[in-house]
Chain A
Amino acid sequence: MNGDGMGLREYINDIVEAVVTTAKGMRITARYGVDAKEEVTQQYPEVRREPEERFRGFLRNDIARCTSCTMCVKVCPVDCISLESVRGADKKMVLVSYDINIGRCMYCGLCVEVCPPKSLTHTAGYEMAMFERGEMVLHFVQEEGGEIKARVAKQVAEAAAKAAEAAKAAEAAKAAEAAKPAEAAKPVGLPAANPAPKEDLSAEAPGGSKADPEKKA
């Protein structure tokens, strides 16, 4: 179908080539059309492909192990992680809130890579639907931030009071009986009991927040 001054042979060759190439193509499409085994579609909601082990789905923070080091916040290129923490009675940081804006997250996985206690991980979840953008935030600390702050503050105050008391007692004891160190060991043991309520709370929190996306899916 090219030049204008073509000879009869080219003319016929043209037609023959068109027919032959069309037939070739049609043979291939016919083979796929007839062979039902070639169908590659997966019926998605019913048939699910198992994501690979390294699949980078929704983020999940196991806040029981989180040390509030803020490495993830610093490394995130799109600032989708926000974290608030207060210093607890045992000088460790207590998470007040740990939110991931999943609508902003680009699943690059840099935060998971840097996480020192490996508490931040990718799940295999990839299905989520919501009506508003504001809902696209995953809250990993279920308890009210204010309550945690108040409790921690109370604990810190208690610990401080106890420490002061102990110190006073120790001072008094030191002043009274210089040769009795058993009393001084007591205040050291007491703050160690403090993390107990914190662990309770964190044990339930990730489960609760995780259930959210799954339920929606």
Chain B
Amino acid sequence: MEALALKLMSAVPALAGVPLWAMTLLVMVVVAVILLVFALTFGGLGSYVLRKVAGDIQVRIGPNRVGPYGLLQFLADGVKLIMKEDIIPAKADRFLFALAPYLVFVGSFAAFVVVPFGVGLIASDLNIGVYYVMAVTSLVVIGVLMAGWASNNKWALLGGMRAVAQIVSYEIPVGMALLPAVLIAGSLSLQDIVRSQGGLLGIFGWNLFHNPFTFFSFFLYFTAAQAETNQTPFDLPEAESELVSGYNVEYSGIRYAFFFLAEFGDMFVVAALASACFLGGWHVPFFRAETLPGAWGNLLSLGAFLVKAFGIVLVMMWVRWTLPRLRVDQLMRMSWKYLVPLTFVNLLGVSLWLLVFRGKGIPQLIASIF
């Protein structure tokens, strides 16, 4: 941020008099606002796409009344949610009840900071990127439990309890499934991880095809992440047909909207991580986007990244509209008896592979033969 501020100050002479800290702050705010707008737009359009996908799969049409093809449906929904009465149940813990949705939203939004959107397009390329994402998304748990507890509703409490158990359990396989990418890149920074998958090997430079273990790792991550974002088949915290709506059952209006946006934010973060760690992030297959002059490289890589991320989001929705829901004990069993051991075995496999083949993946090995 400071570097960007310095660059700006040197480029625009009128800004030369502004103190560095103020300029840095300004840049931070602008970047944050851009990310926020992106998150909100994604939440809105994501809800539209989700419903459209649901409609298509369920031989229906989906939203088609507001705007062309119902594209403005999310605006109508947003306006509705804002206009709605904000109800706080009489016996709720008012402070926690009011705080919870923001905590959940902050938890999912904060992860956007390290999402590598493109060449140089990252709010902050933390050297602990992956770790940071894991840490801040865990904040969601506290918000959800808070919401469940403060609602003073038994269904909400059950939902909150389920959410905590679920997210805490699935944190481990998610982390373990991401580690192979970290091992290959030798860095926790997401930009470094993306860079490590470049090269003219095209899609074979991706970690997905690095070795068989990373291939499985991707699917393990996808499964575990689906659970971490409370998507069907792991949507137990808000299991519509069991817990009515789970932890957010008492929420209405704008507070509900925050839960809603957080859910879509989580979805995007998961998809972004998957694409950055396994699908080559912003790399365009068979092309070096970073060599393009000016902003074109940035834009092209941004496009490539978004296409990959949205593709994963679409698959998540597809899964969501296909599968039934697990039971809570099966969910735990799946994490501890299947995902955790498998991810550990995978991690071991990747480590051994890297040791044996000196960090080279199958494509590189094949390429080195010729």
Contacts and interface: CB of A to CB of B under 8 A. Distances in A.
Contacts of B55: 39
A31 to B, nearest CB: 9
A217 B334 CA distance: 55
A38 B58 CA distance: 9
Contacts of A34: 56
Contacts of B61: 39, 41, 43
Interface stretch (B132-140, B304-312, B318-326): B318-326
Nearest to A36: B56
Given A32-B58, A33-B57, A39-B61, A25 B323 contact: yes
Contacts of B319: 22, 26
Contact of B338 (A15, A22, A29): A15
Contact of B57 (A14, A22, A32): A32
**Interface residues of chain B: helix, strand, loop or mixed (majority):** helix
B291 to A, nearest CB: 37
A22 B323 contact: yes
Contacts of B338: 1, 14-15
B59 A32 contact: yes
A29 B59 contact: no
B333 interface: yes
Contacts of A14: 338
Interface in A99-141: none
A30 interface: yes
A40 B59 contact: yes
Interface residues of A, number: 18
Contacts of A26: 318-319, 322
B80 interface: no
Interface in A50-84: none
A33 B337 contact: no
A29 B60 contact: no
Interface residues of B, number: 18
Contacts of A29: 57, 318, 321-322
B318 A33 contact: yes
Interface in B265-306: none
Given A15-B338, A38-B59, A1 B318 contact: no
Nearest to A24: B322
Contacts, number: 44
A29 B59 CA distance: 9
A36 B333 CA distance: 39
B322 A39 contact: no
B330 A1 contact: yes
B53 interface: yes
Interface string A1-35: 10000000000001100000010011011101110
A33 B314 CA distance: 12
Contact of A33 (B56, B330, B333, B334): B56
Interface in B51-70: 53, 55-61
A107 to B, nearest CB: 28
A22 B60 contact: no
Nearest to B324: A25
Q: Which of B318, B321, B322 has the most CB of A within 10 A?
A: B322
A1 B322 CA distance: 20
Nearest to A34: B56
A39 B334 CA distance: 35
Nearest to B327: A1
A30 B59 contact: no
Contacts of B321: 29
Contacts of B322: 22, 25-26, 28-29
B323 A33 contact: no
A33 B52 CA distance: 10
Nearest to A27: B322
A30 B60 CA distance: 14
Contacts of A43: 61
A47 B347 CA distance: 57
A1 B328 CA distance: 12
B70 to A, nearest CB: 12
A1 B330 CA distance: 7
24 contacts: A1-B330, A1-B333, A1-B338, A15-B338, A22-B322, A25-B322, A25-B323, A26-B318, A26-B322, A28-B322, A29-B57, A29-B322, A30-B57, A32-B56, A32-B59, A33-B53, A33-B56, A33-B57, A34-B56, A36-B56, A39-B56, A41-B59, A41-B60, A43-B61
Interface of A: 1, 14-15, 22, 25-26, 28-30, 32-34, 36, 38-41, 43
Across the A-B interface, give the 7 residue pairs with the lowest CB-CB distance, nearest first: A33-B57, A33-B56, A29-B322, A29-B57, A41-B61, A25-B322, A38-B59
Given A1-B337, A1-B338, A41-B60, 5 more contacts: A26-B318, A39-B55, A39-B56, A40-B60, A41-B61
